[in-house]
Amino acid sequence: MFLLGIDTSVRRGIVCLGEKEDIIIEKILSPHSSSQRLLPSLDILLKERGKKIRDLEGIVVILGPGSFTGLRIGLSLAKSLAFTLKIPLVGIPSFDVWVASFPGQGIICPLLQAYGGKFYTAFYKKDERKVYRKSKYLFSAWKEIEEKIRRRFPGQKITFLIPEQYKNLVNKMKLTDNYSFFFLEETAHLKTLLKIGAKNVESGETDDTFALAPLYISSPVIKKRGK
């Protein structure tokens, strides 16, 4: 199954082509350039592999949380292609993919810097068989996250998943012996993204092209002119 994977949830978007979880080719975009470079990058990848856009058999796209503009751009392209080519579309929350691609187990907390000193996050439990999301997707300050940890997971080890490009987040945290950090390489989750997408397509668990929407868990910041 020849799949297109799109992730524009962070500063440096990614587009890839693959067969199930096998990545054939990928491209990391320049920071904040998804609107200009996403479609041209896809065209370049297809040409490099001697493929046509009509050869795509499915599209998997990250829904967020993350960059408001990036998510909108990535999903818009995914929906447009799925509709035009009449192929399946699968949308997956970014944190679900991160946790599924993480090699460890236990209580896991993906963490992505948002704005206003806050973070996008959620709590998961992972064992040998399955990943369980234990909270809603959250938009919270660090103190609020720590308070939730104390209340819900007293004394338990917490592993924070942080993209490598956001390593500086650790400097803003009050560290304890119960915290550990795993830094995700930029493309490490792509195999898992395509694997989940292929599984959903094969089982018929695809999304409505018209109804699928970005996972926004906070309101966008609107800047006034002259500010």
Q: Which tens digits make up the pLDDT trace of 26-67?
A: 999 888 666 678 999 999 999 999 999 999 999 999 999 998
pTM: predicted TM-score of the whole model, two decimal places: 0.91
Residue 169 has pLDDT above 70, yes or no: yes
Cβ distance 10 to 71 under 8 Å?
A: no
With 0-12 / 13-18 / 19 or more C-beta atoms within 10 angstroms meaning exposed / middle / buried, residue 204 is exposed
Q: Check residue 126 and give its pLDDT.
A: 97
The residue assigned the tokens 């949308």 is 91
Q: Provide the pairing of β-strand 89-92 with 14-19.
A: unpaired
Question: Mind spelling out the 3-state secondary structure of the chain?
Answer: CEEEEEECCCCCCEEEEEECCEEEEEEECCCCCHHHHHHHHHHHHHHHCCCCHHHCCEEEEECCCCCHHHHHHHHHHHHHHHHHHCCCEEEECHHHHHHHHCCCCEEEEEEEECCCCEEEECCEEECCCCEEECCCCEEEEHHHHHHHHHHHCCCCCEEEEEEHHHHHHHHHCCCCCCEEEEEECCCCCHHHHHHHHHHHHHHCCCCCCCCCCCCCCCCCCCCCCCC
pLDDT tens figures, 201-219: 999 999 999 999 999 987 6
Q: Check residue 227 and give its pLDDT.
A: 44
- Ordered structural domains, the chain, with CATH: 2-94+187-203 (3.30.420.40), 95-184 (3.30.420.200)
Cβ distance 13 to 27 under 8 Å?
A: no
Residue 92 has pLDDT above 50, yes or no: yes
Mean pLDDT, the chain, whole residue set: 91
Q: Check residue 220 and give its pLDDT.
A: 55
Q: Among 32, 96, 24, which Cα is nearest to 61's?
A: 96
Q: Cis link prior to 154 (omega < 30° from 0)?
A: no
Q: Among 152, 101, 94, 159, which Cα is nearest to 131's?
A: 101
Task: Please tell me the number of Cα atoms within 13 Å of 5 on its side-chain side.
Answer: 31
Distance (Å, rounded) from C-alpha 190 to C-alpha 27? 11
